[in-house]
Structure 1
Amino acid sequence: MKRIDKVYNQLLSNFQEFTEVELLHKQGSSAIEIAEQLDLERSNVSLELNKLVRMQKVIKIKMFPVRYVPLEVVETICRQKWDTNKMEVEKLEQLSNVGKEEALPANPFELMIGATGSLKKSISQAKAAVLYPPNGLHMLLLGPTGSGKSLFAKRIYQFALYSERLKTDAPFITFNCADYYHNPQLLLSQLFGHKQGSFTGATESKVGLVEQANEGILFMDEVHRLPPEGQEMLFYLIDQGTYNRLGETDHKRTSKVLIICATTENPSSALLQTFLRRIPMTIHIPSLEERSLKEKIRLTTFLLEQEAKRINKKLSVHIDVLNALIHTEKFGNVGQLKSNVQLVCAHGFLNNLDSKHMVELTVRDLPDDIKRDWISNSKNMERSKKISEYVNLKTIISPAMESQEIKMEEDVSFNLYQLIEEKVDVLTKEGLSQEDINQYILTDIHLNVRSFFNQKNGQSSNLMKFVEDDVIQLTKELKQLAEKELNCKFDRRFIHFLSMHMESFLKRKKQVDVLNTKEIDEIRETYPKEYAVALLFKNRIEKWFNISVPEIEVIYLTMVIQSIRTLEENKRVGIVVAAHGNSTATSMVEVATELLGSTPIIAIDVPLTVSPVEIVDRLIQGIKKVDEGEGVLMLVDMGSLAMLESKLEQKTGTKIKTISNVTTSMVLDTVRKVNYLDLNLYAIFDSVQKDFMEFIDKQQHVLGKKKALVSICTTGSGTAKQLEKILTIISRKVSQEPIKILTVSSIKLAANIREIQKEYEIVATAGTKNPRIDAPHVSLEVLIEGQGERILQRAITKETIRYDDEKTEANIVVRELCEENLRKYLLFINPYLISEILLEWLSHVQDELEMELSNTVMIRIVMHTAFALERMIKNEPLTFPEDEEITHQLENIYQKTEKTLQAVEKKLKLTLTRDEKLFIATIFADEM
């Protein structure tokens, strides 16, 4: 192709589907713009453009910079021949008829991609239906999920306003019949309203949507879910223009409403024939696959324009990227295409951070599943050839201009690119390598984008920061095997510990043997069941990775399994609050448990009339009730009670520490530490003392010792070395003084810790085993899931949090993490308000389901539910997979979830769909 032809084709492509309003706004393309799009010199492009002007194929607009537009585009828009004596003009407003239209509103249908192609017939039918006298024709939209039926219905409404068939304030009411299909009575109540007392729970009369849509349009999505009696009431309304509220027999109501229905089903089998006969206009909305290649390219380009606008940089898109996005077999609707486009742009943005003006998108930026499909497809050459008829090898996409199309089509989303820049900046300052930064950021990209485009996040997403996906998959199989052989149930920590151990083993170039023969034999004899399971693991690992697993690794696997089983006990320090008065201790404990949840705690009220012997008896009983084997911390109001510590230890056999001058704030802080920080008795005692009892002698620090953070794993290498990197970053972030990061094996932990303490002051420990020393310990899964960093920061800085100085709120840890994340991503819902509402709801639903959720699960549910509510505002609810079995247990959990969510829905004036509630119920079911 000659250079002049390339220039002309590019110019023609830029304006191929422009409307009058768009053309007047943009005026044309400059030589610089075309040069960037074609990767040519500006001077050469300018030369060719002026040749085209002389050839009377292009009109020149003498603005600054000079712009050009193809003659055939202008003639198509003007619908008349152009005077070729005027190939150079000052502005496009001088064009006959075009300038006069500038102030007029655009026809909404003309703004749709495919208006002159695949949607031409659909638009023609819709126009005819709207304009049909006297009040228009009711319509039925047919098409697969994701084809754009809801958008098309909105365009029909906008066209009715544009053509003045509806008043400017006419309502457009949307109703999804699937939301209530399991409750026909409630569905009919929503649609037609009800009379007070018409059914149980109808405490007051209610206006229905038919009444609200009077003089406007009622859009009924998934109309096949409307029960037969509802269809009958609806066609009676169509026939007579009248209806009754439920329970109303003596009053006929009228509503002048145009009805648009939509369904994915065959209407002949899904709807009553009597109802169908009253919907005269049936309109088919083509699926994405039914669209032409040109339209797919335009749609993909449009989505890329939106990302360019968010990035505020131009995109250089390789033709192979467009080929893969357009032809991938993985998507069937626009929503998935949008997800894939954003993933590609996010990857490209990360890989082009150093470029200030341009982001280059190549095959390397494709999501793995699309990339694999593209690489393995034999039709790539043929497809690329067809695409090249519309675009060049590289397409330059500028940030989308503020046209009406953009305003009407764009789905405003969170600015992922700003988040990427911020995180990269932080990680760079912390000293991470580019490879490590990319590993962290890419994990976040997939997590964030998928959560916005109908993808379920797996529990292993955070773990993928540390290990490869195939290791995680094998570990899940090994977990099932171990549970079967050992007749027990492991939680997610098994996946965390074992997968990180295997990852380090696979990356080890040589086997590190830190055990002698005697220790190896002792492990085999001490843990025979775990050793037998480790041998089964060895066989699976060898087959999975086609490698040889040495005997020493079997021993390490035995220790890992044993360590995890020990962790499953999850015992906590008990708390006894004892204070003089009839209800002093009880009041403090009630406040703490109400705000921070249940914990092993008991209140001992000590009236002044009670004898010392009776006081001791009460304390003994209380200690026994809360003792889980990790000791008891007594919080008392007077020194006299504190003096009973030794006596109580002798009588109960329980290790006890006591702090005097108890306050409600102290109880709150103690409960929080027991619930969330996983500290032993001495560490909690020390921490509470430092926070609230400054006048008590602090534990003396050994002068001259350097500070250290200790990384612990089974072998003392591998996983611990990975932890070492993280601990280094955390310590540098919050401390000016140097902190040594030390790595030790959990097998020889006690001896190693004693040796370290001779030379170092251990600030905190992290890893697979808790050394139970007077320093905070962060378990591996807590560190991975995000809470561990904060614990370590506090340990390093000796930060104290006083509840006297800040508002005490329920579920402090969960609330803070939820608010922090929701603040970044929610667009329409107040993150602080929704966190408060959903945490209150979670408290009720846990009682209803008789279960206690971990912090991680609570955060996951709050985040998911908040996004679900936001999706309802955007009218983009998720669809529960049809092939997913809804078990009796899941249905039972769903009913209870739905019941408790009613208060949330009422507060927010939003209603979640059944499918959205099923997804929420599934999360609860996974934890049962």
Structure 2
Amino acid sequence: MKRIDKIYHQLMHNFRNVTLDQLLQVQGHSAKEIAEQLQMERSNVSFELNNLVRAQKAVKIKTFPVRYVPVEIVERIFNMEWNKEKMEVEDLHQLQGNHKRIRRKISTNPLELMIGAKGSLKKAISQAKAAVFYPPHGLHMLLLGPTGSGKSLFANRIYQFAIYSDILKPGAPFITFNCADYYNNPQLLLSQLFGHKKGTFTGADEDKVGLVEQADGGILFMDEIHRLPPEGQEMLFYFIDNGTYNRLGETEHRRTSKVLFICATTENPSSVLLKTFLRRIPMTIHIPSLEERSLKERIELTTFLLGKEAERIKKNLNVHIDVYNALIHSAKFGNVGQLKSNVQLVCAHGFLNHLDKDDVVELTVRDLPDEIKQDWISSSKNIERSKMISEYVNITTIISPIVEDETTKLDDDLSFNLYHLIEEKVKNLNKEGLSKKEINQYILTDIHLHVRSFFKQRTFQNHHLLKFVDDKVIQITKELKEVAEHELNCRFGRKFIYFLSMHIDAFLKRGKQIDVLNEQETDEIRDTHVKEYQVALIFKDKIQEYFRVIVPEIEVIYLTMLIQSIKSLEENKRVGIVVAAHGNSMASSMVEVAIELLGSTPIAAVDMPLTVSPSEIIESLAAKIKQMDEGEGVLMLVDMGSLAMLESKLEEKTGVNIKTISNVTTSMVLDAVRKVNYLNLNLHAIYDSVTKDFIELWDRQPASAGKKKALVSICTTGSGTAKKLEEILTTIVNKASDEPISILTVSSMKLANRIKEIEKEYEILATVGTKDPKINAPHVSLEVLIGGEGEKVIQQAITKGGIPMSDGFTGTNIIVRELCEDSLKKYLVFLNPYHMIDMLLEWLQTIQDELGIILNNTVMIKVIMHTAFAFEREVKQNPIAFSEEEEINGQLEKVYHITERTLHPYEQKLGLKISDDEKLFIAAIFAEELQGQLF
């Protein structure tokens, strides 16, 4: 996002819900106020605000200091087109009188004010409008969408729109009914809908008015309509057809009511609702999940929810971009509902951590709840995600309170203020003499209980398991669970399905018997766990019949052990597991999946970035091995054979028995965790079992010994950017190594097949470009490469962590030089591009030392290009102006003088002196970077 766009976005945010009275009170926002919100230089903000005025996107209010208001807001409030650049305060008051005579319709449409109205909700809103206007009384609607996607809120907005459009009278009823609340009692459910006559059934002590009667002249919203029994659906569609109904127990009296039905379900309607009922609900509207919404909409939703919390706290929120990143990607299953829950948890954490600050609550990564923080930390896509998010928010974003009205009110807003409770409890616990750490722990536990009581968390979804297990296996496992519960007279949780389905899946894929137990051990299991063994025999028959396979006796023994282990609540000593893999998060990701699917186990991850030395790796592995050992030894799963060679050294260092398996995969980690947790095997038995399960996979792995080495440059088309990458990589290789390393250019569209061909002939040291081929080599994205960090990764991959061949290796200069060179050669007319790059790189090093900052490649490229063209413009005598009316503040003035002083020797070399305004622009870049690094 350009600077001008960020400033306009902030200005619009400030006035999003402003009323006329509020506008008359604040009279706009000054450049200084917006600069503080965005943490930018005031002069830069003022410059862009004046550009917005000239573009007729903002109005300048002539006060002292000058204030600004978005044109869109002025047009909305006064219901008129606006074409003036400036406005006196008196104009505002004069228009106030006219405002009372204006019937406002612009931008007050409740549906159009919804986030996503012009994006993901555009079709849904169009359908809803058509349904409301359809003569004579509108069309009944069915809202489809996952839990938490906002179906209830959308239904409420349809109701508001019907009143706004004069279809419904003001004050018309909007009745909400959740069919699931009475799912197990059809009689009571029908009584709720249609009412009942006194004495109709036990407990019917008086006549009762039903919801259909209460909703007369309005809307009845029926949530979870799939829970409505067939007899209820039949009564409902009879009412829809005829407009008449009876209360339960009535026969002689026909009642009438005019109701518009909005129904909602998370299920496939054709499979859970009667076809005769569905025909009466002609308008089906899909409400998108959070995942289906654009990044921009998810950011707007997060900002809106943060604004609601800011209103409860009565303080501004200063939100770091990493918090946005974590929040947006934390609502994996619960959609907007879970996002709301997570936002409140984060705000509650931040509020507790900043109780001593009166004006603002800062939200940083440390304020994230542990589960959200761990998810954020373990993600390998954070850099890419943050870059995308930065198009819409700043490094830190000021969120102001959103004043509640009918268009912003959320249906399920809490009836209490959580932040008042926190303050009160902190005061009480302080009086009791508890330490700050104890108080925080106590309050945080309370926060989680409060929030989760209002937001239902969805259970783990089977589709995660489907990544590793065939759907047919899951289906038979569900049947086996019912058998086991009946035979053993107990209840099993969802873990039973996970572990048993993975065990059966492994048996079917293995295709052969693996016997790691002797005859004496199997006899002992039969005699000790008689009931479980009988259940396992039933399992055997059903598996054989379902999959048409032979289940050997040893597999029955394993099933017996599995059933007993899941059933037992005793905590036994288990084999520990340590997963070690190169890269920043590969091992952590595999371990995270295993724990999420299969529960807690003694397992730990050791991520090994290329920057970590071998001695540090050994220390990390030794620490984790000691930590995971429960007395039964540790199974080490590693990505490369070289790590397997450390086994004896680690055994000597830790005194722990270790077995190592190379070429680790997520499936292998899952298999090992399952066997550790539920087969109660010793270290050697687990090692043999896992090894035999995956031996065929290893046989297919090609050896890399004796192969030529290569770096792979990947681009969308295989040309263009990749060709430039080839030049950059060639330069890096020449400086880092004297051995032959090929640079191979590949199109990302042909990547899957081409990379396999390359691996047969070459040892791929690293890949660079637009797509990660997911091979056992580091990948550097274009963003990371241009930013400067990627060169170190490539150098490490080439030298295996050693010292590069060239003592003068300066990686960042390679990228900066290569990327600037093409543009300067193309556009500089009077000046030598090669000389300019050398000179400006030298100058940048000087100014970084003077200011005490480190500029990344992106900023360096920006400064070099701007400064080179500033000198060129001086030759043409066509400099650009900084601003015609702004003052220079203290920090910018200081940076300006350093910029001027350090540039002076190079101005003398060129015989050119660039203007003060050009230097101010350059200094502003440094000042903004300096401020960012200070915070």
TM, length-normalised to structure 1: 0.46
User: What's the TM-score, normalizing by structure 2?
Assistant: 0.46
